[in-house]
Amino acid sequence: MQQIIFLLLLVLRVFLSASDAFSVSLDTETPLDPIYVTPIEGLSFDQKYAEELLKVLSYDLNHNGMTVAVRSSEKALYIVKWTAQSKTLQPTLYFVHTHKAKKFDSITLTGKISQDRRLLHQLADTLFKSIYGKEGVASTTILYTVREKNQDPTFKSEYLSDVWQCDFDGQNPRQITHERRYIVTPCYIPAKKGFRPGSFLFASYKLGQPKIYVGSLQDGTSHQLLSLRGNQFMPAITRNKVDIAFICDAMGNPDLFVVPYDDDVGVGKPRQIFASPKGTQGSPSFSPDGRQIAFVSNKDGSTRVYTMEVPSPYVLLKEMKPRLISKACRESTSPSWSPDGHKIAYAGLISGTRQIFVYDVDSQTEEQITTDKSNKENPCFAADSFHIVFNADQGGGKAQLAVVNLKQKETVLITEGNTDKRFPSAEPLVK
């Protein structure tokens, strides 16, 4: 019973609020490449709409970690110019130092900012790739939960929560599930190469006990993943979608399990891959190749982040020797392995505040990424292995989504309002 309570506390720890106001820290010594975007003129829409489009693009350019939008072309390294006609907009990128130009396909606008802003996000990623040769994340999305006090006496829970989705800048929020039950830890199921995800995993308390479900991003419908007794928490899936890891107490203790998964066939037989009689496990996260797994355990006292090889079915549990990676803090949770495999983000308690840390797999070193006085939890690497999205407490038991990149280390709130937003999951991209 004590171990079950510990696991519940591990999941619900993110609902603790911070008393200090949220602040932003900016490394002003980090050089950014200046890029100038000319005004948009000639569209059949009013000028205010054109300015809204520029705001969307400017935000993306200011938060990709490499460029900064400037008000003049005088010192710009790159210039974006427009050819506008009626409802079409054709951008051209000028490379100032090389005197080269690259013209892109025309964008057909609808006049609805909720739709057209996504076209500008795609353009921001196209510009980023043209300059740096890397994929951007401005056009990706984020899953998360929105929590509220339960007013339904028929459901025995203090809170209700559903899954939502938003753009990477926090805009265009859309409710996915409408269960009016308690849902936590959603995560995307990666799509086939060249496609975007259409489904996701999550844990729901709608049956009383937490169980894992597969949900549809289109209509929010879902089905239970496993017919397994006990509590099931914190699903994670490999990049190639062949294994799902989760926490389950079917054997009497909340321990680490994996189960084979196939989109068409379903799941295979679950197997326990790590157990600790004196500890509780949580928050699994696979390496990109699916051969290793990071997770949380308090087997040695306080909650720490460990990694280990995913064992074959013939390896005995007692032979598993996880390696401790979070040594900077005695209390660390919610690891997230970067898509490039070189980093693991986690939340750690230091000087009384939960901050975001990153462990470098190659050098085996840790770095504190955030420093402001808001408690942060549930970091998740974006598809570029450069941005991290997480939830940051804003006081009063409520949190908002925030993003930080590894170059600027500037914490940026991307949502606002009175709703409590938690458990962000950044969209994976399979190119």
- 111-129: pLDDT as tens digits: 999 999 999 999 999 999 9
- Answer yes or no: do 255 and 333 share one domain: yes
Does residue 298 lie in a domain region? yes
Of 73, 99, 132, the domain-final residue? 132
Please state, in angstroms and as integers, the Cα–Cα distance from residue 222 to each residue in 316, 345, 424, following that order. 35, 29, 19
- Answer yes or no: do 69 and 155 share one domain: no
Does residue 431 lie in a domain region? no
Could you tell me the residue range of the domain that residue 257 belongs to? 2-25+140-426
What CATH number has the domain bearing residue 107?
Answer: 3.40.50.11830
Of 132, 155, 172, the domain-final residue? 132
Q: Single out the residue of 222, 235, 263, 288 nearest to residue 429, CA to CA.
A: 288
Residue 28: pLDDT over 60: no
- 143-181: pLDDT as tens digits: 999 999 998 888 888 899 999 999 999 999 999 999 999
410 CB contacts (<8 Å, ≥6 apart)? 24, 25, 26, 27, 404
Inter-axis angle of helices 113-132 and 47-62, nearest 10: 40
Token readout for 309 is 């090889």
| pLDDT, position 20 | 30
Mean pLDDT, all residues of the chain: 91
Please, where are the H alpha helices in 71-185? 113-132
Q: Which sign, positive or negative, has the C-alpha torsion 168, 235, 227, 193?
A: positive
- 300-335: pLDDT as tens digits: 889 999 999 999 888 887 788 999 999 998 899 999
Count the domains in the chain: 2
Say which amino acid occupies 419. Answer: T
